[in-house]
Amino acid sequence: MADPLGERDRASEALDLVAAAAGPYLETLTSRPVHDPAAAGLLDGLGGELPEDGEGSPATIEELVRIGTGAATHSSGPRFFHFVVGGSTPAAQAADWVTALLDQVAGLWATSPLAAEAETVALRWLKDLFGLPATHGGVLTPSATYANLTGLAAARSWWGERHGVDVSADGLAGLPAMPVLSGGYLHPSSSKALQVLGCGRDTARILARDDAGRVDLAAMDRALTELAGPAVLIGNAGEVNTGDFDPIDELADLAERHGAWLHVDGTFGLFAAVSPQTAHLVRGVDRADSVAADGHKWLNVPYDSGVAFVRDPAVLGRTFGAWNAPYLQSAEDTRLNYNNLSAGSSQRARALPIWATLRAYGRQGYRAMVERHHDLALRLGELVEAAPELELLAPVRLCVTCFRYRKPGATGPELDELNRRLGEALLADGRVYAGTTVYRGMTALRPAIVNWRTTEDDIELLVSVVRELGARLAA
């Protein structure tokens, strides 16, 4: 098999193999370990020299399915609590197959009215879900990092305009450093966005009132007064260690008082808006100038998927629309041409899984999922507090539970080393996945619960495995 043209009349054979494998694989996700160390040898099957004559798609896909279903990290299952990783709802997963099947050139109406219209509808539905004004502009991105980059790029354009400069056309040369202020919950993705934008990765001024990172509003007020010019504030909705929130409404007050731009990193925390039980955590987010969120976290759509919203839609066009290519639409013609609203130009139709999952489960489906996960995080906190060898390190705010294993008589450094080894043991064991972090100077576990499959049984297994491995390491 040397030319794919030879498979034109039986192109679906490879797809049939994947479809046949999907059912058995998905049915076992609730019982599989997250990672099977014994399957590591399967990865050797990916190697070797580039074939001179290919094996054809059926044999190749059959081998890939065999290796993948055995050696993959089963992060789409219910016990992957490391980082903040969702799964894929049935509707989103199926729609992602449709996305690959149709293989649309998304971003321009001329190349795919289907992809453009699906993105428009998906953005409208997401604004409705999150309680954002319908007048906000928006664009889908590959991830929350790109969503933060999109929002902060819009902020940079706005800031340049306040200095009489079109930074999209002329760059930053001759301008002072753009002031960026945040509390201690600033995520590395925002820092990375500032780095890529030429503003400097470490230029954000952190104003925190304690070692947990809670924002110091009084200090931020004073700093804005001293600056006496345009500045950018970053509010953080859902801090990764504990799930805590900056007071977005009060940050919006500061931004309005001082004429600043407020960007909110709502990577997973924006989903608090979906439930009346948690919506108070993001009160004021509708007043932000830009908001970033992730789809492949709590929306439970396949990787990769992010979204950026901007209060003034025209800013996105001014920031990203000047292509200077005769065959592309002008910067002024941004109707449904999403390439003009983000840094990308070639992208898959990532709107289709978002459209499908929102169509399939609706507002009430996502409210039920957010509330269930919040309840599970609270339940995990209760189990931690009931276990004498475990210690809850922070209140449970949303979907993250921060705790550590403790050994009687152990010092702080000894506990840090014990919990570091415990984190490594959890990943090596593979039954559940939960990594470590450093919170208030302490090494801790911080499992995040955002997968639609997760139930109380999975939470109880997590605690059981932590206690088992912790006791073994502490002995």
Q: Residue 327: its pLDDT value, please?
A: 47
Q: What is the mean pLDDT of each run of 10 residues along the chain (475 residues)?
A: 86 95 96 93 94 92 97 96 95 97 93 94 98 96 96 98 94 95 97 96 96 97 96 97 97 98 97 98 98 97 96 93 58 69 89 98 98 98 98 98 96 97 97 96 98 98 98 95
Q: Residue 321: its pLDDT value, please?
A: 80
CB 141 within 8 A of CB 306: yes
Q: End-to-end CA distance of the chain: give it in Å, rounded.
A: 58
Measure the CA–CA gap between 331 and 202, rounded to whole angstroms. Answer: 32
Tokens of 311: 């209060």
Average pLDDT along the chain: 94
**What order of strands is seen across the sheet that includes strand 180-182?**
137-141, 306-310, 290-294, 261-265, 232-236, 180-182, 205-206
Q: Residue 1: its pLDDT value, please?
A: 63
> How would you class 160 by CB atoms within 10 Å of its CB: exposed for 0-12, middle for 13-18, buried for 19 or more?
buried
Q: Computed from CA positions of residues 440, 441, 444, 446, in that sequence, does the dihedral angle turn out positive or negative? A: positive
Q: Residue 358: its pLDDT value, please?
A: 98
Could you give the angle at the alpha carbon of 160 between the alpha carbons of 158 and 163, nearest 5°?
115
